[in-house]
Amino acid sequence: MKYSRLTKEQFEELHQEFINFLATQSITGDEWTDIKKNKPEVAEQELDVFSDLVWEGVLGQVRYLEHISPQQMHLFHLKEDIMTLIAIKLKNENVDLTTSEGFDWFRNNLLSDDVEFLTANKSYSDDKPLDKFKLIQQGAVITKGDLYRYFEKLVVK
């Protein structure tokens, strides 16, 4: 398995897609029930293959990721050939960006010396989808990029 298995909730959401996936392999509902009961290792393999297919599709579409922790914000733009990062670090340790009060403080003090902005570019490895997946595993979430685009106007000259 290249990525990680989908959660039970994700499988439930993708129930019809999983049925279609099994159908492409000529596995009927009755056969799937039999496989789960009598060949659990084969069922596990099918779940893993389907999970990887879903991840490949999702990762191919991801353009923006955000990782927000109490003192830092990492905003990624996943371009075709490179990843660009806008990193924001708070020097005021009493502020927590993950709270609404902390985010309000951040908005009101955006240009103060307590807020540091950094930018970086990084080339992908030979496995671009896996590079994206690793960021998600580390806590980044897929977004539409609103925060990235807002701060890009402030920090990229």
In this prediction, residue 110 has a pLDDT band, given cuts at 50, 70 and 90, of: confident
For residue range 18-74, list pLDDT tens digits in order.
Answer: 999 999 989 988 999 999 999 999 999 999 999 999 999 999 999 999 999 999 999
Bridge partners for 61 per DSSP:
none
pLDDT of residue 157: 58
Best CA proximity match to 87, nearest among 121, 113, 62? 121
Give mean pLDDT, residues 106-118: 91
In this prediction, residue 90 has a pLDDT band, given cuts at 50, 70 and 90, of: very high
Residue found under tokens 């830092």: 72
Q: For residue 122, is pLDDT > 80?
A: yes
In this prediction, residue 155 has a pLDDT band, given cuts at 50, 70 and 90, of: confident
In this prediction, residue 154 has a pLDDT band, given cuts at 50, 70 and 90, of: confident
Q: CA angle, 86 as apex, 84 and 156 as ends, to 5°? A: 85
